[in-house]
Structure 1
Amino acid sequence: MEKKGFHFRFNKQERSGIFFLLLIIFILQGIFFYIKAKPFNGNKRIAINTDAQSRLDSLKQESQISALKIFPFNPNYITDHKGYVLGMSSKELDKLFAFRAKGRFVNSAQEFQQVTQVSDSLLETMSPYFKFPNWDKKDDSKKHFHPIEEKPVEVTDLNRATPEELMDVNGIGPKLSQRIVKFRDRLGGFLVTEQLYDVYGLEPEVVQRAMERFQVHQPPAVKKISINTATVEELSKLVYITTDMAHAIVRYREENGAFGALDELSNLKVLPAERIGRIKLYLTL
């Protein structure tokens, strides 16, 4: 029987070539893993020039302020909106408001910085607009503030207030003023001033300040929905009623008969107690 030869035979020169090829591959892999495993020496190639960055921020702030038409003002009476426009943070404004709540006044740009802790760059851009009142010089040891004659606050109809007018209230900025207007549009107009408490993000103390400036003078004509005949879809269209609440109202009506009084809504646990008063504004028997 004839033996079959092995077809994969290599001569000496071919074996040498294969050996060197494998050696090169091995060396390249070793170099690759060495470079990959080599730890970073910690030298930072990119360094931030903090002085330059601070100057850039200052220039940016100056350009933003210069683009606005700002008239001289007494910083003791700065509003949230104006402070926001000028670049102050809420913490800096809160420090000034707390200082003023004690019946005290800042008398110079330096005192303003001491109270608010604003940066030097921000003070530099703001202070040219500061206008402090005259002081009585009879007693240099005491500075008697000459209060500006305050005009009686004019109460505006809440349903006609513009976002800019709303921002005159301390605590209401651009976002909250827009949110108030959008909520008013969803309601079709405020029926009672207390509905301001239902605006998301509006703090109670801010609402109280807003109610000194704005009241509902002309509530809109609202077509009330009959609680005894309205469908789930009709009920859930109201801002204060979710779909689950609407189902609960209809289910209660089917199980217990028609509502005899709107106060029976308090029997539905799914309805938050603080929301029932608002819901009743839009319902009828």
Structure 2
Amino acid sequence: MITIIPYFFAVLLPENGDLVADSIAIRKLELLEMQLKEHPYRRGRPVPARLFSFDPNHTTAAEWQLLGLSPKQAAVMIRYTAKGGRFRKKEDLRKMYMVTEEMFQRWNLYIKISPGDTLPYNKYAPYKFTKPKPVLAALNTADTLQLDSVKGIGPAFARRIVKYREALGGYYKKEQLLEIFQMDTARYNAVKDQLILDKTALRMIHVNKIERNDLKYHPYLKYNQINAIIQFRKQHGNYSNIAELKKVAILSPETVEKLAPYISFDHD
């Protein structure tokens, strides 16, 4: 029946051909979504994928499933765009771990990314290019997907930033990114203004309570330095300020300076 409708309207209403074609396309998609709801995943076997034109920045979870993703994979795509992630070009889809190369090639001709992403579509209005605003990410709380959306970072550096952040206990200055493997000055300068720094998110080192295991993975300290901090405390009592920490002979002034923003001298 659906295949007859375009011919019928084209004969009766030739001047409204575009409107009719759009209406039919929408109806077809609605029918496909109804099929998906009526035939959910059964016994681990997904509904066969369908192909249709789609904008990945505005695709619904049901549509992602129609394209071949599982419900969990579709949810990841929705979270990515909901948090501000954007696909600027087709190839950006390859960055998503659930999109295989075979899947990308199958979708390729159907991916239609709108140049005016934030504007309502009007095919009769002249297009005016609007430079996209840079994506901002909170350096101490962003996950890898959010960091990957920052221009110049990419998935590999997003993972390194998060891993080093966990080891440090958070970043107290952006320049600490230069301590990450293969983060050079050029890349750092390209991304630093797209990152927001919140020092309140730091994980503090309670120097009067810590034991060896609490600091064994800290990138600023070696095992013998951790041991010296604890032994000095046992011999001389609790630390009261940074000046007392500097009395630990094995700690260089540079090391103490780097640790200072993380140190808490509480006695409770």
Q: Same fold judged by TM-score > 0.5? A: no
Larger of the two Rg values belongs to structure:
1
> Shorter-chain TM-score: what band?
0.3 to 0.5
